[in-house]
Homo-oligomer: A and B are copies of this chain.
Amino acid sequence: MNNFTFWSPTKFVFGKDTETRTGELVKEFSGKKVLIVYGGGSVVRSGLLERVKKSLDEQGMNHIELSGIKPNPTDDRVYEGIELARNEGIDFILAVGGGSVIDTAKGIACGVLYDGDFWDFYCGKKIVEKALPVGVVLTIPAAGSEGSGNSVITKLDGLVKLSLRTESALRPKFAVMNPELTFTLPPYQTACGIVDMMAHIIERYFSTTPECEITDRVSEGVLKAIMAEAPKVMESPCDYDARANIMWSGTLAHNGVCGTGRVEDWASHFIEHELSALYDVAHGAGLAVTVPAWMTYVAAINPSKGAQFAERVLGIERCAGDSDHDMALKGIACLKDFFRSIGMPVTMEELGIKNADIDALVKNLHLHKGELIGGYVKLSAADTKKIYQLMA
């Protein structure tokens, strides 16, 4: 087990009606003038935005809004938010939505207190040392951004999608998580979220760092819980307990507890980011195509973790004569079946991409992420090209 720091200071307030406590929580973390960041109409239509604003009003707080944040969020909205926050003397950013909204809020939070271009943080030129506090009212369990110090933003110029990781500077101060707010999520988006959270664990699970039994066992537990609850939320979108299990799993999948003490992988996310940057597909659906292809490719090089995944997570019994590679492939087939069962694509064509420009994807990938990517198996452009081909 490697040395590590685990620091997840976010206060998670989970359950029914918890959004009515938003104002009280902003106050607890010293917010006075709030920028509310949100996406499309559903937050308005459902009445959630009004309830959140009422709760801020009850604490006598000023608030303004930045709305219309879209999936695969872009830098232009971050710049807009930074200017707005500066002009209005904002001291707290409140994200009401899912990963795209939260990630935009984080970009604004670090940008406001920085004299240069906020993109410096995302492209690795600068390290975030201070940021405005961010709070979250979560509506989409998927990205795990409510409990992480990370943010992913796409630069419109060149469609560069980059991920910023901070130890604590961008961890939300609080996250309000009411599973009822997810009842109206469409099935496709629900399934995308499920794949995204599973991928967050798989990226950490496939590690060559030996002797991380506790981290393996926690990861396997969260994966098993997600796979047990997923069919229930797909079948009964208003099943409170199933939604609650999925929502909390999404947080544990990405707050770092599944990665303690080991080198993580993240190749699948990098490979997918180029897909969603170029073709604007949903990130979770892109991952449903990417992860099995990546697992198949690396199983031929190092099948050990794939075999463990098949046995411990999927409960596949090893038959006489089964090699680790056989086991890994059985696991991948089972994982694909699971993704299909919740309505996810497992090929590019099913994802709606015909004749993908694989050369462009590979070129962009290594231009943005370096010559070699991945922690479990180091992948060059020759490798990632084959993985994109496996996805076709």
Contacts and interface: CB of A to CB of B under 8 A. Distances in A.
Interface in A208-233: 210-222, 224-226, 228-229
Contact of A214 (B6, B16, B222): B222
Copies in the complex: 2
Interface of A: 1-16, 18, 168, 179, 210-222, 224-226, 228-229, 240-242, 244-245, 248-249, 252, 257, 260-261
A225 B217 contact: yes
A221 B217 contact: yes
A334 to B, nearest CB: 18
A248 B14 contact: no
Contacts of A16: 3
A16 B4 CA distance: 10
5 contacts: A1-B248, A5-B11, A212-B245, A217-B224, A221-B221
Contacts of A4: 14-15
A248 B260 contact: yes
Contact of A218 (B7, B18, B210, B222): B222
Minimum-distance CB pairs A-B, first 6:
A3-B15, A221-B221, A211-B241, A217-B221, A9-B9, A214-B225
A357 to B, nearest CB: 40
Contacts of A10: 7
Given A5-B13, A217-B222, A252 B257 contact: yes
A101 to B, nearest CB: 22
Contacts of A1: 15, 179, 240-241, 244-245, 248
Contacts of A11: 5-7, 9, 168
A220 B216 CA distance: 12
A229 B213 contact: yes
Contacts of A3: 14-16, 18
A176 B13 CA distance: 27
A257 B248 CA distance: 11
A97 to B, nearest CB: 21
Nearest to A210: B241
Given A214-B222, A245-B213, A12 B18 contact: no
Contacts of A225: 213-214, 216-218
Contacts of A216: 225
Contacts of A228: 213, 217
